[in-house]
Structure 1
């Protein structure tokens, strides 16, 4: 496969977020311009540690169980004008949740309704306009595993 390294590693540039257009059927388009990107799947833990009542002075072993899971995507890059960016900026401007997919190479596709919790445009006089954004899930996600 041309997009994969010989040792099974993946290009960082293939970690994508695809923005839905809101139509039915929904069409997802690559969010263009990303130079850096990060997908985070994390969970808090619920502390279930209980001291030994029969031996209060004995050792206490910390125990826990899974807590709240959070899913986010961050990215930054060149602010490239086009239909997908215009749709995305509308969602941000209106603080409106939207459907999106995150494609994680070697893992699969995470699809959910997302919201943007941070969006920034920046630039200076000698470079093109750049952006950074953080997407967080609004709904539970569906997951489709990558097929080898």
Structure 2
């Protein structure tokens, strides 16, 4: 049996597009310790009665109604990025973002910055950030060749 190849955290990169044509995607050092992507869906449920056995509990049927991706990131405060991230949070604009999983490929879509936090636990502790990006439209997967 062949072992599963490891993908380390350094191979997961949140890359933000610069809006140019062609667009260039760069990893921002503000997200430098934790990063993740979560996919969720809104659903509608329908109880499907069993006509042959109406006394029995009926099974639910689930229909997906809406899809969403959420990227979370955290790290030590990278002050060079603060002004750009603050402007992104303060506006309603989406930026094209890639969640790169090297060497497999990447998810890409438009994302809005919906949560941005800067904290420190004490006077001598390193300041940290937490951020949440929520998809604004479809997210696609592109496999690396």
TM band (smaller chain) = 0.7 to 0.9
Q: TM-score, normalised by structure 2?
A: 0.82
Question: Does the CA contact (< 8 Å) of 1:19 and 1:88 recur in 2?
Answer: no
Q: TM-score, normalised by structure 1?
A: 0.81
Q: 1:11-39: per-residue Cα shift (whole Å, max 9, x none)?
A: 02221111112222221110214211111
Q: Describe the shift of the 1:143–1:8 C-alpha distance in structure 2 as closer, same or farther (beyond 3 A).
A: same
Unaligned runs of 5+ in 2: none
Rounded Cα–Cα distance in structure 2 between residues aligned with 1:94 and 1:59 = 49
Equivalent residue in structure 2 for 1:52, among 47, 50, 53: 50
1:21 aligns with 2:21: no
Q: How well do the aligned residues superpose, as a CA RMSD in angstroms?
A: 2.2
Unaligned runs of 5+ in 1: 1-5
Q: Describe the shift of the 1:25–1:88 C-alpha distance in structure 2 as closer, same or farther (beyond 3 A).
A: farther
Q: Number of residue pairs matched?
A: 141
Point out the structure with the larger strand share: 2
1:89 is matched with 86
2:39 is matched with 41
